[in-house]
Amino acid sequence: MISPKSKPSLPSIVEQAEAELQALGIETGRAEWVRSTYVTTDTSELAALAETRDLRATAQWARRLRSIDLTELSPVEVRKCDRIRVAQVLWAPNDLRDADELPRRISSMEGTYATWHYRPREQSERLDLEGLSRILSDSRNPELLGDVWEGWHQLGATIRPDFERYVTLANHGARDGGFEDLGALWRSRYDMDPREVDRVVEGLWREVEPLYRLLHAFVRLRLSEGYGKTVVREVGPIRAHLFGNMWGQSWRSLLPLLSPSSPTAPQDLTKTLVERGTSPAEMVRYGERFFVSLGLPALPSTFWERSMFVRPQDRDVVCHASAWAVDTRDDVRIKMCIEITEEEFRVIHHELGHTFYQLAYRDQPYLFRDGAHDGFHEAVGDTIALSITPEYLVQVGLLDQAPGPENDIRFLLAQALEKVAFLPFGLLVDRWRWKVFSGEIAPADYNPSWWDLRLKYQGMEPPTERGPEAFDAGGKYHVVANVPYLRYFFAHILQFQFHQALARRTGWDGPLHRCSIYGHPEAGESLLSMLSLGSSRPWPEALELVTGGRMMDAGPLREYFRPLESWLRDQVGSAPIGW
């Protein structure tokens, strides 16, 4: 039999758009990779040019597709049209000069951030963010901590003019694209009415807020004992330089101050990794083996050849960790300045979560090669990192013996200092930016309003009087690099939903914090079913595949920390809660 020949058909308009945007997206990715791993005037200029071209083409296609009759398109094509409209986190302004200037302003802020150094008092060297962060996590000298915090945040004054201009230009673009402002564009990326997004956020926050306030009260009590009442009062907010982290977003390095190690506490992972001379690449191998143990395919050899694992000595780079799919298929890479620490061990799992997600959806059409929503993308690696339990570390030979249940509280406290402590920060960064974009916060109020929110949600205040030139939000990477932040808030909720669901898939019925899904392909299969969808379906469907539910829900997070919650309540006793 002769097979019937179908007549060759011309690519549809949606296919044309997809092919052109894919080509431009890949080119932009390459230019950005070179810029981020070799920051110079030229590489920044070339990356900005590519971005402008890409954004303009996206805007043009979105406009063209808006004018066609949707009833002529298949449902898949309709979804692709929707994706084009919200695929990027910027919209090119119609005005050519504005479109040109916008990516340059962002590049300029990123350059300032990437190269900022400060020489703390009584130190001989100027330190970069990694060096300053090391002091914040290790020192217990409040004067030094304050100096380091202040020295880093001096970069805000340099960034501020670029930021103000970026807000204006990005809003021009967003309005040309039919959005009220850039914040409205960002809120349109969640398969729901953008006006509902903040309501969802508020609902989740209310579920976790009591746990945060309890943790805050406990930490204040112990810091006050450790530093004395003149440094940390027993009531009111805590000053932001005392949390062991530049932004007060993870308090994990305070653990030794908060909970004296018991004779049975396991050796800390940093020490083990350092003593063994573990290399950055070996750290990444641990992460890869975890994913492979779930039945996912090993990383391609190009990943190992093209990734950047260490800060180069001879040039400036953007050290903020990130994961890339440069050709949107197999050419996956991570870019990190890996330090041999427990924290970085977990960040590696975070980045590899992006990488394995990218590999899982690479067979989707280009416009669907993305997360179900951006919070899913951020949650995958963190979900895996929740399985880095003491038992897991014994299994992979990084710990001699798992401690008994008497160590559970210490383990959970460490987790809470990272996960629960993060929640208000994850929420406030974009609640602040949304108001900046909408104009509700005027430039003169950038800094006071930033601190209003940090006080309201985190219960923190600045360590020093902030002058009129201060712009402390500019000390956070995502603010200068135009990366939306709500994704991390969602991810911190979702990862516990995923962990709970995958734990059940393995038949686990013990406490959630003790479960590791390492070596459980049945969990991997479930995870992969979600990852391989990419953004081809609305996110509630992706969520349902793994968890059976269609809503983001803080219940599993609360369940995970339940044993800690009653312990914290005992510790806090009659001491005040709140600020």
Residue of 18, 110, 342, 351 marked catalytic: 351
Give me the residue whose beta carbon is nearest to ligand ASP: 321
Judged by beta carbon, residue 162 or residue 344, the one nearer ligand ASP is 344
* 65 neighbors 20 (Cβ within 8 angstroms): no
Judged by beta carbon, residue 249 or residue 307, the one nearer ligand SER is 249
Residue of 153, 172, 216, 320 marked catalytic: 320
- List the Cα angle 161/167/169 in 5-degree steps: 100
CA dihedral 21, 24, 26, 30 (to 10 degrees): -160
For helices 194-227 and 408-438, give the axis angle rounded to 10 degrees.
130
Query: What are the residue ranges of helices labelled H in 6-95?
Result: 13-37, 41-66, 75-86
Give me the residue whose beta carbon is nearest to Zn ion: 378
Residue 378 designated active-site: yes
Judged by beta carbon, residue 91 or residue 496, the one nearer ligand SER is 496
The binder of 431, among ligand SER, ligand ASP, Zn ion, none, by C-beta within 5 to 8 A per type, is none
Judged by beta carbon, residue 392 or residue 477, the one nearer ligand SER is 477
In this structure, the strands spanning 238-239 and 460-461 are: parallel
Judged by beta carbon, residue 333 or residue 350, the one nearer ligand ASP is 350
The binder of 553, among Zn ion, ligand SER, ligand ASP, none, by C-beta within 5 to 8 A per type, is none
CB of 428 to ligand SER, least distance (A): 12
Q: What is the size of the binding site for ligand SER (CB under 6 A)?
A: 2
Q: Rounded to whole angstroms, how far apart are CA atoms 347 and 355?
A: 13
Query: Which residue, 24, 31, 30, is CA-closest to 53?
Result: 24
Residue 354 designated active-site: yes
The binder of 192, among ligand SER, ligand ASP, Zn ion, none, by C-beta within 5 to 8 A per type, is none
Residue of 478, 522, 541, 559 marked catalytic: 478
Judged by beta carbon, residue 108 or residue 482, the one nearer Zn ion is 482
CB of 527 to ligand SER, least distance (A): 20
Residue 350 designated active-site: yes
CB of 334 to ligand SER, least distance (A): 13
Which of these segments, 111-119, 239-247, 373-381, 442-450, binds Zn ion (CB under 5 A)? 373-381
| Binding site residues, ligand ASP, CB under 6 A | 321-323, 347, 350-351, 354, 378
Contacts of ligand SER in 365-384 (CB under 6 A): none
For helices 486-505 and 194-227, give the axis angle rounded to 10 degrees.
90
Q: One-letter amino acid identity for 120?
A: P
Q: One-letter amino acid identity for 472?
A: D
Query: Which residue, 502, 525, 509, 506, is CA-closest to 382?
Result: 502
CA separation, residue 452 to residues 161, 245, 462, 524 (Å) = 22, 20, 10, 43
Residue 488 designated active-site: yes
How many Cα neighbours within 13 Å face the side chain of 245?
Answer: 17
Residue of 153, 241, 349, 350 marked catalytic: 350
Q: What is the size of the binding site for Zn ion (CB under 5 A)?
A: 1
Residue 351 designated active-site: yes
Judged by beta carbon, residue 111 or residue 381, the one nearer ligand ASP is 381
Residue tagged 């994706």 (tokens): 83
Judged by beta carbon, residue 378 or residue 430, the one nearer Zn ion is 378
Residue 344 CB neighbours (<10 A): 19
End-to-end CA distance of the chain, in Å?
Answer: 81
CB of 320 to ligand SER, least distance (A): 7
Residue of 488, 492, 499, 513 marked catalytic: 488
Residue tagged 């979600």 (tokens): 530
The binder of 322, among Zn ion, ligand ASP, ligand SER, none, by C-beta within 5 to 8 A per type, is ligand ASP
Which of these segments, 89-97, 108-116, 222-230, 370-378, binds Zn ion (CB under 5 A)? 370-378
Contacts of ligand SER in 472-491 (CB under 6 A): 488
* 195 neighbors 116 (Cβ within 8 angstroms): no
Binding to ligand SER by CB under 6 A, coded x per residue (else -) over 210-249, reads ---------------------------------------x
Structure tokens at 298: 């090993």
CB of 377 to ligand ASP, least distance (A): 8
Residue 7 CB neighbours (<10 A): 4
* 189 neighbors 374 (Cβ within 8 angstroms): yes
Residue of 18, 378, 523, 554 marked catalytic: 378
Residue 469 designated active-site: no
Q: Rounded to whole angstroms, how far apart are CA atoms 578 and 435?
A: 25
Cα of 349 vs its chain's centroid, Å: 12
Judged by beta carbon, residue 417 or residue 441, the one nearer ligand ASP is 417
392 binding ligand SER? (CB under 6 A): no
User: 518 forms bridges with which residues in the sheet?
Assistant: none
Residue tagged 């995502």 (tokens): 478
The binder of 246, among ligand SER, ligand ASP, Zn ion, none, by C-beta within 5 to 8 A per type, is none
CB of 61 to Zn ion, least distance (A): 27
Binding to ligand SER by CB under 6 A, coded x per residue (else -) over 4-43, reads ----------------------------------------
Q: Rounded to whole angstroms, how far apart are CA atoms 383 and 381?
A: 5
The binder of 220, among Zn ion, ligand SER, ligand ASP, none, by C-beta within 5 to 8 A per type, is none
CA dihedral 504, 505, 506, 508 (to 10 degrees): 10
Which of these segments, 60-68, 223-231, 377-385, 568-576, binds Zn ion (CB under 5 A)? 377-385
Q: Rounded to whole angstroms, how far apart are CA atoms 236 and 501?
A: 38
The binder of 472, among ligand ASP, ligand SER, Zn ion, none, by C-beta within 5 to 8 A per type, is none
The H or E element containing residue 238 is strand 238-239
Judged by beta carbon, residue 80 or residue 492, the one nearer Zn ion is 492
Residue tagged 């100027």 (tokens): 126
In this structure, the strands spanning 332-335 and 322-325 are: antiparallel
Residue of 87, 157, 265, 321 marked catalytic: 321
In this structure, the strands spanning 322-325 and 238-239 are: unpaired
Active-site positions? Answer: 320-321, 350-351, 354, 378, 478, 488
Chain residues in the site for Zn ion (CB under 5 A)? 378
Chain residues in the site for ligand SER (CB under 6 A)? 249, 488
